Structure 1
Amino acid sequence: MLVAAALCPCPPLLVPEVASGAAAELEPLRAACREAVGALAAARPDRLVVVGPADRAGQGPHPQGATGSFRGFGVDSEVRLGAAPHPPARPLPPSLSVGAWLLAHAAPVDAPVEGLGVDEALAPEQCLEAGREIAASAPRVALLVMGDGSACRTVKAPCYHDARAADFDTTLARALATADTDTLAALDPEEAASLKATGRAPWQLLTGAARASTPLHGALHYDEAPYGVGYFVASWT
């Protein structure tokens, strides 16, 4: 059963060494993430799963001890998902690497930690089913859900400006703040993909887990669009 979830964006810029001179600009976002992730420890989960978007190489399960790095972003820095004496060879995708970094910089969660890289194009029903399966996997499950909103909020955004982006992100923020699973389940994969909202599939996986569990209450800690990308931080408890 799902007992808690933390929802965070996954730009590698969250890691100060990657952000470099821009690190101070994102400290409010970083602090909100630490707050949301730290709250997972209070839920006393038996199992913690970090879920995030991934390309083909990073899709699927990543066991505790899996490692990732930010070398692709110019920083010779490595992170580990939980602890294990012999980490597996397959590296974490960037979204799960950011999640592992957040876990290492928040209150420790006393539970086994695993990762799941999700195909951004995964159909909604498949996302919901995957969430239901995770919720049923242990008596007390917690999720750290990584994903960004639209990347089209301004003309300087990575994907330029799209007039639909503001409404998409406003609807999303309201749903995350209230743990509104109906709205999240109804997110359109094609619209999300066209707006480069990488969190759609992970959020729908969370929806499946939440619907299979006792209702949770949402709280939104951060809702801004630095660099034209919608970043949201929320807690479901």
Structure 2
Amino acid sequence: MITRAVVVPHPPLLVPRLSPGPEPELTALRDACVAAVRRLGPVWTAVGVHEKDQVIAPGSAGTFRGYGVDERVRLSASGTGSGLPLPALVAGWLREQAGAESVEVRLVAATTPPAECARLGKELTGDLLILGDGSNRHGPRAPGSEDERAPAFDDAVAKALANADTEALLALDPALADALGARGRVPWQVLAGVAGDWRAELLYSAAPFGVGYHVAVWERGC
């Protein structure tokens, strides 16, 4: 049974070597992510989005070389290898920050419909790390072109995460999420499939670099 779940974004800029120099907004985001994952236990299951379904075992490792710096991370102390997709790289980096033993990464296809996401959530066990970004179309700094629908979309996500509102997460429109560049839709809807009486805490929600980032902790109620 899943007793804890943490929601974080997965931009490469979380890694200090990839974004050197003082940046208060980035520091606040990074600190929130690390504080959140430190509330998980020693063994994690991570869920992210990718082009196709994939399970990455804890014995794996990789590097952020493709993002500009050869920062190596492992999914466990014995992890080996050099190639991991971004969600797995960030999961590995966060594992190391938290001092956790291991993380298995479940990547889910970006086209997976809400009902199938929820079904997967029902099958998961262990402490859960959910990796996903909000819309990348916030304001003039947005990596995608600005879209006036982005703030309302991410406000709805933040509210759902703050209230452990699984119905609201499952109601997110896949077409709208895709149009807004929100890669977190699938992982959030996997989380929504995990039944339980949750106590939720939203640690961070903002779009400092034109992308919506949310950090939340869900713990099963007594």
Category of TM-score, reference length = shorter chain: over 0.9
Structure 2 unaligned residues grouped into runs of 5+:
none
Cα 1:23–1:52 shift into 2, 3 Å: farther
> Are 2:113 and 1:123 aligned?
yes
> Are 2:93 and 1:101 aligned?
yes
SS of residue paired to 2:187: helix
Give the counterpart of 1:230 among 190, 212, 215.
212
CA–CA separation in structure 1 for the residues paired with 2:100 and 2:72: 20
Give the counterpart of 1:171 among 156, 178, 201.
156
Equivalent pair of 2:63/2:82 in contact (CA under 8 Å): no
- The match for 1:218 is 200
More helix by share: 1
Counterpart residue type for residue 164 of structure 1: R
Give the counterpart of 1:150 among 129, 135, 143.
135
Equivalent pair of 2:110/2:186 in contact (CA under 8 Å): yes
CA–CA separation in structure 1 for the residues paired with 2:44 and 2:19: 27
Counterpart residue type for residue 50 of structure 1: A
State the TM-score, normalized to the length of structure 2: 0.92
CA RMSD of aligned residues (A): 1.7
Cα 1:35–1:162 shift into 2, 3 Å: same
Shift of residue 49 of structure 1? 0.4
CA–CA separation in structure 2 for the residues paired with 1:102 and 1:22: 20
Cα 1:90–1:201 shift into 2, 3 Å: farther
SS of residue paired to 2:143: coil
State the TM-score, normalized to the length of structure 1: 0.87
Structure 1 unaligned residues grouped into runs of 5+:
136-140
Give the counterpart of 2:62 among 68, 76, 92.
68
CA offsets per residue over residues 184-236 of structure 1, 9 Å max, x none? 01111110000000100001111112x2xx31111000011111110110000
Equivalent pair of 1:93/1:117 in contact (CA under 8 Å): no
CA–CA separation in structure 1 for the residues paired with 2:215 and 2:190: 17
Shift of residue 23 of structure 1? 5.5
Cα 1:117–1:152 shift into 2, 3 Å: same
Counterpart residue type for residue 54 of structure 1: H
The residue correspondences of 1:1-237 to structure 2 (distance < 5 A) are 1-21=1-21, 25-41=25-41, 47-56=43-52, 59-84=53-78, 87=80, 91-106=83-98, 108-109=99-100, 112-135=102-125, 141-209=126-194, 211=195, 214-237=196-219
CA–CA separation in structure 2 for the residues paired with 1:203 and 1:176: 9
SS of residue paired to 2:38: helix
Cα 1:90–1:51 shift into 2, 3 Å: farther
- Number of residue pairs matched by the alignment: 219
Q: Sequence identity, in percent?
A: 42
Runs (4+) of structure 1 moved beyond 6 Å? none
Shift of residue 171 of structure 1? 0.6
Counterpart residue type for residue 229 of structure 1: V
CA–CA separation in structure 2 for the residues paired with 1:222 and 1:169: 12
SS of residue paired to 2:124: helix
SS of residue paired to 1:150: coil
